[in-house]
Structure 1
Amino acid sequence: MIRKLILFTPLMALSMLTSCSEPDEKSGSNKSKSISVRYLVIKEDTFNTTYTTNGNILPFEEITVRSEITGRVQSIHFKEGQHIKKGQLIISLDARELEADLEKTMVLLRQSKIDLDRRKSLLESKAISQEEFDQFSNRHEELLATKSQLTARMDAYQVRAPFDGTVGLRYISEGAMVSVGDIFTNIAVQNPLKIEFAIPEKYAQVVSVGDRLRFNVRNLSDTLEALIYAKDSRIQQDSRALRVRAQFDNSDGRITPGGFASIEYQLQVHDKAILIPTDAIISQNDGEYVIRINGGISQKVKISTTERTSTSALVSSGLQKNDTIALTGLLYLRDGIPVDLQEK
């Protein structure tokens, strides 16, 4: 058996050492891999800021008619549910005693006028003194004041409607004794109706008299419109909201006051709005962010939003038209990551 002996010279050893120490370019490569994402190119669009809330449907005017005096109900001049006119007599109380006092005063007043005229002639002829004439004059003035007082009291015995409206249920009967504050009935204006609701403080400056709103009521399929005619002069401190009233034409009588209205009020129209999907927003403790893609590289950008729907957000700062943002891969993207834009 022949054995071969291989001799290593110093030159061969140096050559092998050098060969082992050369780096492998393929195995040592640290090139970052790109991430494929779906994306959105920002375009300007129209966005309507719509506020939804509930409101109360109320009579445009209403009053609870109460007794101002103690007395007996003599006559009732209305039927429940009847439409009445302003000034129409609705309740008469027994005023016979007061009428007698007034008639007595009128008799005394007529006699006082005759006596006063006679004393005036005597004064001119200096048959009586000025002091005596003044006594008769003062007596006459007292009777005039008594007449005015009794006449004013007589108005309380004749209860009249303060405005046109519909009478509600009555709570008294003829012949019943009533005291001060007892309720006779109520009167309400059912056409037009008013809708009262509240707007948050941040929208207070946007509300304008003359704006229209849409609303729905229970058991009525139609969507109705009302016109804002008034808003409060101040924001309520407890709710931080502004109270607003709208007027609705109820000439057909299809809505009964006292119910609720589901309201949609379009506050603003943004003609050149920057809208992005809410899923593209990264919410953190210090604000909201999106991933903007510029030249195939990701960049985390802070944004501000003002309004939201269930799917979109209105961006007020941080993005502009034609910016490209990532819609997917948000958990893996940060500044400086290569991105492949995935076609939809």
Structure 2
Amino acid sequence: MRTRYIIYIALALLIGFLIYNKFFSTKGKEAMAQNASKSTKRQNGPVAVNVMIVKDTAVDNTIDVTGTIDANEKVNLISETAGNITGIFFNEGSYVKKGQLLVKVYNQDIVASLKQNDYQVALAKQNEYRNGILLQKEAISQQEYDTSLTSLNTLKAQSDVLKAQIAKTEIRAPFSGTIGLRNISPGGYLSPSTSIATLVNIDPAKVTFSVPERYQQLIKPGTKVNFTIESARNKFSAEVYAIEPAIDLSSRTITVRARSANPGNLLKAGAFAKINLTLDQIPKTIMVPTQCVIPDLKDSKVFVYHNGTALSKTVKTDLRTDTKIEIISGLKAGDSLIVSGLIQIRNKVPLKILKVIK
């Protein structure tokens, strides 16, 4: 035990001697002073930086929003009358033309009634014709002739009613487009509540999106829109043709609709669209890299190279892009903006230029 204590005491004395020799002896103080002098020289030396010559440039004021692809026309096909299905005249997923017969419901009873009524119309015409001749010869009264004429017109009206009923038993395409999956089968019973299929016209396609209300004065019919979708690598373009007149109270946005050509049917109704909207073009402004602008408590500032040193300038900013920010005051064309080494820079710090970016 005594030997262990002796070893501990010896180690403590050795450590104390080393600490004293390094920090408190004459040689240790001189070494610390030399290191401090070297550090001061390094701090007072010029900071190596890259600078960019500021210049005026034109920039597009654009915003990125999201939207939805809508069909130009879309309808859920249903029947106005009930009855057994006697024919289905379309293939699922096929293209159909406007007016094409798609589905037919049993209507033989109505067709027979129409045929019977046509015979009565023919007889009524003959009766009206004969009464007309007799009226001219004053062989019958005007009232008798009017009765025959009314009977004819009534039968004609009845024919129109029957023809309308027959038309309701034939479901035709209201517009040209692609028909979807059918929900009926031949021989089934079709009622007005039964969905037959969905008919979609997607060429041209509609692009619906919303923009903040502060941009409403910059968007008008004819404004160009570029967008992409998840299912294709193509970039698509569209043109605004309609704007909702009222602002949405919950989101404070205005709904806009554009039209896009879709000859290859790459655009599908319901698809998600990433939209890049060009609002206007600023013909002359200053754009600088975002990292050059240092936020302050009240303003923002940048550093410029001036007579070999760094000079701080207060600036005002506006438009931002992914990598740049617009300076609307505080900089002018020709200034040498510092774009690197900003962490080490303070006002009046001497600088050494490594590279000039024009």
TM over 0.5: yes
Q: TM-score range by the shorter chain?
A: 0.7 to 0.9
How much has 1:340 moved relative to structure 2?
A: 4.6
The equivalent of 1:224 in structure 2 is 235
Of the three residues 240, 262, 266, the one matched with 1:249 is 262
The equivalent of 2:11 in structure 1 is none
Give me the TM-score of the superposition, normalised by structure 1.
0.74
SS for the counterpart of 2:218 is: coil
Structure-2 change in CA distance of 1:130 and 1:300 (3 Å): same
Is 1:343 the counterpart of 2:356 in the alignment?
no
The equivalent of 2:191 in structure 1 is 179
Residues 313-332 of structure 1 correspond to what in structure 2 (within 5 A)? 313-323=325-335
How much has 1:40 moved relative to structure 2?
A: 5.6
Paired positions, count:
305
Question: Structure 2 CA distance, aligned partners of 1:110 and 1:66?
Answer: 36
Is 1:128 the counterpart of 2:140 in the alignment?
yes
Of the three residues 149, 157, 177, the one matched with 2:169 is 157
Structure-2 change in CA distance of 1:312 and 1:36 (3 Å): farther
How much has 1:229 moved relative to structure 2?
A: 4.9
Structure-2 change in CA distance of 1:219 and 1:122 (3 Å): closer
The equivalent of 1:65 in structure 2 is 77
Q: Which amino acid aligns with 2:260?
A: Q
How much has 1:185 moved relative to structure 2?
A: 0.9
Structure-2 change in CA distance of 1:297 and 1:168 (3 Å): closer
Is 1:84 the counterpart of 2:84 in the alignment?
no
Structure-2 change in CA distance of 1:312 and 1:178 (3 Å): same
How much has 1:89 moved relative to structure 2?
A: 0.6
Any stretches of 5+ residues in structure 1 without a counterpart? Answer: 1-33
SS for the counterpart of 2:333 is: coil
The 8 Å contact of residues 199 and 244 in structure 1, kept in 2 or not, is answered as: no
Any stretches of 5+ residues in structure 2 without a counterpart? Answer: 1-43
How much has 1:67 moved relative to structure 2?
A: 1.1
Question: Structure 1 CA distance, aligned partners of 2:295 and 2:301?
Answer: 9
Residues 1-344 of structure 1 correspond to what in structure 2 (within 5 A)? 41-207=53-219, 209-210=221-222, 212-220=224-232, 222-238=233-249, 239=251, 240-251=253-264, 253-281=265-293, 283=295, 288-291=299-302, 301=314, 303-305=316-318, 307-323=319-335, 338=348, 340=350, 343-344=353-354
Question: Structure 1 CA distance, aligned partners of 2:215 and 2:293?
Answer: 24
SS for the counterpart of 2:279 is: strand
